Chain A
Amino acid sequence: MARVKYLILLVLGALALATVAAGAASETGVTSTQVTIGGTTPLSGPASAYQSVAKGAAAYFRYVNAKGGVNKRKINYIYKDDAYDPSKTVDATRELVSQDKVFAIFNSLGTDQNLATRAYLNALKVPQLFVASGATTFGNDYKKYPYTIGYQPNYRAEGTIYGRYVVKHAPKSRIGVLYQNDDYGKDLLAGLQRGLGAKAGLVKSKQSYNVDDPDVQSQIAKLKAAKVNTLMVFATPKFAIQAYVYARKLSWKPLVYMNAVSSAANIMGLSTAATNKKQTEGTISIVFLKDPTDPAWRNNSGMKLYRSIMKKYKGGNPNDVYAVYGMSVAHTFVAALQKAGKNPTRAGIVKAADSLNVTNDPFLLPGISVKTSATDHFPLDQAKLQRYHDGHWVAFGGLFRVR
């Protein structure tokens, strides 16, 4: 009798094992040896400098694969060119989903680009993980689009930080804003106004520019004419440097708040060299990644790992802070994949991405953790304030929430 029972259990167990094994192999993009993920990035055209976000991530995955992968599976990361054109993003993403049969879309770059594919991916229940965009909608609209999640601290939150800081520490400032005329610049501006709250009237002048404008001399002149003493620079590096240079040409030295996209140490170095130490002194910004051109991190173990991976696995130019970002987001994906268990499913990895608690990311500032929950769909929402003093950044204050 016992033997029969034992036999039945054995058979049932074998059947269960077989079903589990079959089920594991049947999730799209997952085999017993490999997980395939894909994304879009501008490999050609004027935005192609941002491709290091994908290249840094790819190098990190090669490093992880060399150490055996995740749950014995190697990560096969495919990234396709969309030339920063949302209509190409749609085509490339459809190709990834229907031809390459990826497990998830990962690290696609651009706000409009990801918005173009969000409805399609969510309808097909394909995870749209760790979108490389600072737009708030990717963290806010999770009820409507549960398969989508962002990564970096968003622009609106960054602007809010600056607004709140001014209200607290310099409530009599006269603020002027130089901002890029697109979602990125407008989000930062909206955040600033939100952070200023009742004191939104402190903003005396807002000047926008387009990327194909020749220069921002005219805008800076108008800001000075409005008798502004605090300048918010919500601009990409080329125009951020111009802000300092043209202010100096007008013999004008406002206190500058520099947005994170343009605050890398080498950019600030160029600004200082083109003007003088006085012009950039006191600039305030936020920071959440370790800056590869900042000598403070030269002997840091995390950055040493970064440099060795970039070198060994051909990640591209190691001075590029976007590559550091790419490694950080890849590190988080690996954590999510790990959490999704031995037989990851699409629903499973989305659940893992919605319940992250990663505290050991070597590429983020010490103390920053990657956390998400049912009500918090912003994986990175901490940063530190930093002030530019005597030619380099000095972080001050503690970590705070960038929401």
Chain B
Amino acid sequence: MILAFDWTQLAQQIVIGLASGGVWATLAVALVLIYRSTGVINFAQGEMAMFSTFIAWSLVNHGFSYWAAFVLTVAISFAGGVAVERAVIRPVERAPVLTVVIVTLGLFFVVNGAARWIWSPETRSLPNAFSTRPITVAGVAFSISDLGTIAVSLAAVALLWAFFRFTKLGLASRAAAVNPDASRLVGVRVTWMLALGWGLAAAMGAVSGMLTAPALASFDQNLMQPVLLYAFAGAVLGGIDSPLGAVVGSLLLGVLINLIGTYVNWVGTDLRLPVALAVILGVLLVRPAGLFGRPMETRV
């Protein structure tokens, strides 16, 4: 019985799941950053990442080398994230949370529409930062690109952790998120900390877009819409206030979707996503704060 089971297929589907999950891990980290600073899910995060991808494409198209374009895009996106926070989020900082959510929804349409208006809706491609040469180990195929994508997201998590833990700015940022009023009393510029959060998230989103586009082999203005969905689910599974959780959650979700689709016949490919989301909900009912999240304590 055990020998008849196709272990190679299982391993292959797991590896594919990790590769898929790795693609949306960085966007999940971006979502976590916004959540930690502003307390909302930024529904426009994917579109902002897509916009950054188009900027990178334009730069490459105008003769910049890939890495120059990469760094420049990250910098521009950081500035863009800060600008968005100051222009559109700051005015509603003290409004009900749902107002901010609706603003991010409005932002979704604005950024998507702008990207369609500036660049025509053709299918394009972005060069891959890593090699796509197929590698096969024990009958299971993958590429350096898959490993590279996961490595980048883990590196981002490590960098963020170091930033928040060891730098003064990072400490101020954490303080502003946890207790804005007390932070102001000790001289923390709270509103700029929020802007910093958005800038970092936008930069992370840019990285995400520039990894996603080559991983999915082509891109257009719809690139990040399905990715946002999965990143959101993965981030919540991992614990919405934990960047590491976002990465782990995304990887797990990728594996889960693939295994369900492959081995549960009734589900097939039609219902993979709903079933995977149902599984996540099951996890949340047992551990409401997600796998790595800290349970919220409310003072009465």
Asked whether, in the complex, the Cβ of B269 is within 8 Å of the Cβ of A219, the reply is yes
> How distant is A228 from chain B, measured CB to nearest CB, in Å?
14
- Name the contact of B134 in the complex, choosing from A209, A225, A249 (C-beta under 8 A): A249
In the assembled complex, the Cα of A85 lies from the Cα of B114 at a distance in Å of 22
Asked whether, in the complex, the Cβ of B269 is within 8 Å of the Cβ of A266, the reply is no
**From DSSP, what is the main secondary structure of chain A's interface residues?**
helix
User: Which residues of chain A are near B124, meaning CB under 8 Å?
Assistant: 270
In the assembled complex, the Cα of A294 lies from the Cα of B132 at a distance in Å of 27
Q: Is A238 on the interface with B (CB-CB < 8 A)?
A: yes
Q: Scoring B residues 111 to 136 as 1 if CB is less than 8 Å from chain A, else 0, what string do you get?
A: 00000100011111100000010101
Interface stretch of the complex, out of A109-117, A240-248, A325-333, A365-373: A240-248
Q: Is B230 on the interface with A (CB-CB < 8 A)?
A: yes
Q: Is B261 on the interface with A (CB-CB < 8 A)?
A: yes
Asked whether, in the complex, the Cβ of A48 is within 8 Å of the Cβ of B136, the reply is no
Interface stretch of the complex, out of A12-20, A90-98, A210-218: A210-218
Asked whether, in the complex, the Cβ of B20 is within 8 Å of the Cβ of A49, the reply is no
> How distant is B117 from chain A, measured CB to nearest CB, in Å?
11
Closest A residue to B215 by beta carbon equals A215
Interface stretch of the complex, out of B87-95, B194-202, B219-227, B281-289: B219-227
Asked whether, in the complex, the Cβ of B217 is within 8 Å of the Cβ of A274, the reply is yes
In the assembled complex, the Cα of A150 lies from the Cα of B217 at a distance in Å of 34
> How distant is A291 from chain B, measured CB to nearest CB, in Å?
14
User: Which residues of chain A are near B216, meaning CB under 8 Å?
Assistant: 214-215, 238, 242
Closest A residue to B145 by beta carbon equals A249
Asked whether, in the complex, the Cβ of B134 is within 8 Å of the Cβ of A250, the reply is yes
Total number of B residues with any Cβ neighbor in A under 8 Å: 45
Asked whether, in the complex, the Cβ of B142 is within 8 Å of the Cβ of A249, the reply is yes
* CB contact under 8 A between A249 and B141, given known A46-B225, A212-B225, A221-B13: yes
Asked whether, in the complex, the Cβ of A319 is within 8 Å of the Cβ of B122, the reply is yes
Asked whether, in the complex, the Cβ of A213 is within 8 Å of the Cβ of B16, the reply is no
Q: Is A254 on the interface with B (CB-CB < 8 A)?
A: no
Asked whether, in the complex, the Cβ of A320 is within 8 Å of the Cβ of B122, the reply is yes
Q: Is B157 on the interface with A (CB-CB < 8 A)?
A: no
In the assembled complex, the Cα of A238 lies from the Cα of B218 at a distance in Å of 6
Q: Is B36 on the interface with A (CB-CB < 8 A)?
A: no
* CB contact under 8 A between A242 and B217, given known A208-B268, A221-B16, A251-B134: yes
Q: Is B229 on the interface with A (CB-CB < 8 A)?
A: yes
> How distant is B110 from chain A, measured CB to nearest CB, in Å?
13
Asked whether, in the complex, the Cβ of B269 is within 8 Å of the Cβ of A213, the reply is yes
- Name the contact of B120 in the complex, choosing from A181, A212, A251, A317 (C-beta under 8 A): A317
Closest A residue to B16 by beta carbon equals A217
User: Which residues of chain B are near A316, meaning CB under 8 Å?
Assistant: 120
Known: A213-B272, A225-B6. 10 other contacts (CB 8 A): A181-B270, A209-B269, A212-B229, A217-B19, A218-B261, A238-B217, A250-B141, A251-B134, A317-B120, A319-B122
Could you show 21 A-B contacts with beta carbons less than 8 Å apart?
Answer: A48-B121, A208-B270, A213-B272, A214-B24, A215-B20, A218-B20, A218-B258, A218-B262, A219-B269, A221-B16, A225-B6, A237-B123, A238-B216, A238-B222, A249-B134, A251-B136, A266-B123, A274-B125, A317-B120, A317-B122, A320-B122
Q: Which 8 pairs show the lowest CB-CB distances between chains A and B?
A: A49-B121, A245-B217, A317-B120, A212-B226, A217-B16, A241-B217, A241-B218, A250-B141
Chain B residues close to A by CB (< 8 Å): 6, 9, 12-13, 16-17, 19-20, 23-24, 116, 120-125, 132, 134, 136, 141-143, 214-218, 220, 222, 225-227, 229-230, 254, 257-258, 261-262, 268-270, 272-273
